[in-house]
């Protein structure tokens, strides 16, 4: 298992995303996915307090509640690295000290745990001083409610400012970043990867499968269907580069006798600074196509081909 630098967190090569729990997967389906992931040796689960507030009738926190109920039924909580986020929930938007204080208590309650292993700043809040946000995170770590902190959706420039502020004021530093990064979205490499590498932080990318397009489910000439996420994936069918990437993934997957999704995630996992890509699964069948990435080793030729065609 890879270790997140500057921590004692050993995590699975595949991080299971919880954004579909309480959205396209109900509690029963979600628990089946979690059971299968755990049985396959997975230990890294990522969610957010805002999941899935966008669903009519939901208030947010549904994913955390589902994960918390599942955790409560197990005797091995400490085996799992549980990550959640603060800053986007309606009524608790931003990263002020009071907001973070209120939000963390809600997350701990819903997750039915006394600590969060990795607590993400979900957004970059320019309206709140960095020292205020880092200060409350530092206090939560001192109190044992949070173990480590990370920053999602943060630019390299702001990350550098946050790390400098943490050092200057002797506050806890971010240990990881969570950017939008996959074979079709590679801006992170050009904009932010240098600072992440220099500071030896972990990259834990979201949308690793480009909203499902890189699973191979969506093909030119086929209707995308009516799934909740189908529109976001199907838009890539209009991009010649994306279609060529899919063709290369098909060839490489066939050569390794594995699923297209596993190859896409293995490419991401092989990139500099990347520790554990995030991918979600609505069903056990979907998860089964992702799990082989944990042991899949692409050849240098495979990686070079995908690098070239997706650039």
Do 172 and 166 touch, CB atoms closer than 8 A? yes
Domain that holds residue 82: 15-215+260-297
Tell whether 251 is covered by a domain.
no
Catalytically annotated residues: 51
- Which token pair is 93? 């938007």
Instruction: Write out residues in the chain with pLDDT < 50, as ranges.
Output: none
- Which token pair is 194? 């240098």
Tell whether 186 is covered by a domain.
yes
Do 64 and 75 touch, CB atoms closer than 8 A? no
What's residue 222's pLDDT? 60
Do 250 and 223 touch, CB atoms closer than 8 A? no
Query: What's the number of domains the chain is made of?
Result: 1
Tell whether 206 is covered by a domain.
yes
Tell whether 161 is covered by a domain.
yes
* Distance separating the N- and C-terminal Cα atoms of the chain: 29
Tell whether 244 is covered by a domain.
no
Tell whether 164 is covered by a domain.
yes
- CA neighbor of 86 nearest in space, from 72, 102, 66: 102
What's residue 219's pLDDT? 81
What's residue 239's pLDDT? 83
- CA neighbor of 133 nearest in space, from 163, 100, 107, 156: 100
Here the CATH number for the domain that contains residue 73 is: 3.20.20.100
Tell whether 91 is covered by a domain.
yes
Do 119 and 137 touch, CB atoms closer than 8 A? yes
What angle separates helix 156-168 from helix 130-142, to the nearest 10 degrees?
60
- CA neighbor of 96 nearest in space, from 86, 110, 106, 111: 86
What's residue 233's pLDDT? 72
Tell whether 235 is covered by a domain.
no
Composition of the chain by helix, strand, coil, percent to 5: 45, 15, 40
Three-state secondary structure readout of 4-69: CCCCCCECCCCEEECCCECCCECHHHHHHHHHHHHHCCCCEEECCCCCCCCCCCCCCCHHHHHHHH
Q: What is the pLDDT of residues 135-160, one digit of tens each?
A: 999 999 999 999 999 999 999 999 99
pTM of the model: 0.95
What's residue 304's pLDDT? 98
């Amino acid at each position: 298992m890879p270790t997140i630098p500057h921590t004692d967190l050993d995590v699975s090569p595949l991080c299971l995303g919880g954004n579909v729990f309480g959205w396209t997967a109900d509690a029963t389906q979600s628990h089946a996915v979690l059971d299968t992931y755990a049985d396959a040796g997975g230990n890294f689960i990522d969610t957010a307090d805002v999941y899935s507030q966008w669903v009519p009738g939901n208030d947010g926190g549904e994913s955390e509640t589902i994960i918390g109920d599942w955790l409560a039924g197990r005797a091995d909580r400490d085996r799992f690295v549980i990550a959640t986020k603060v800053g986007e929930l309606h009524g608790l938007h931003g990263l002020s000290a009071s907001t973070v204080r209120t939000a963390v208590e809600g997350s701990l309650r819903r997750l039915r745990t006394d600590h969060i292993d990795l607590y993400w700043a979900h957004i970059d809040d320019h309206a709140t001083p960095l020292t205020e946000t880092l200060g409350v995170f530092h206090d939560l770590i001192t109190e044992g409610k949070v173990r480590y902190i990370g920053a999602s959706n943060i630019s390299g420039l702001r990350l550098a400012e946050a790390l400098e502020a943490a050092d200057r004021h002797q506050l806890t530093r971010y240990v990881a970043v969570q950017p939008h990064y996959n074979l079709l979205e590679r801006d992170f490499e050009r904009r932010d990867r240098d600072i992440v590498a220099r500071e030896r932080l972990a990259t834990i990318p979201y949308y690793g499968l480009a909203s499902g397009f890189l699973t191979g489910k969506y093909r030119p000439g086929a209707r995308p269907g009516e799934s909740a996420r189908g529109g976001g994936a199907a838009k890539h069918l209009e991009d010649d580069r994306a279609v060529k990437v899919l063709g290369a993934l098909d060839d490489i997957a066939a050569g390794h006798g594995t699923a297209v999704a596993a190859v896409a995630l293995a490419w991401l996992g092989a990139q500099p600074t990347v520790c554990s890509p995030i991918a979600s699964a609505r069903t056990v069948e979907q998860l089964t196509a992702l799990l082989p990435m944990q042991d899949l080793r692409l050849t240098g030729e495979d990686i070079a081909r995908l690098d070239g065609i997706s650039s």
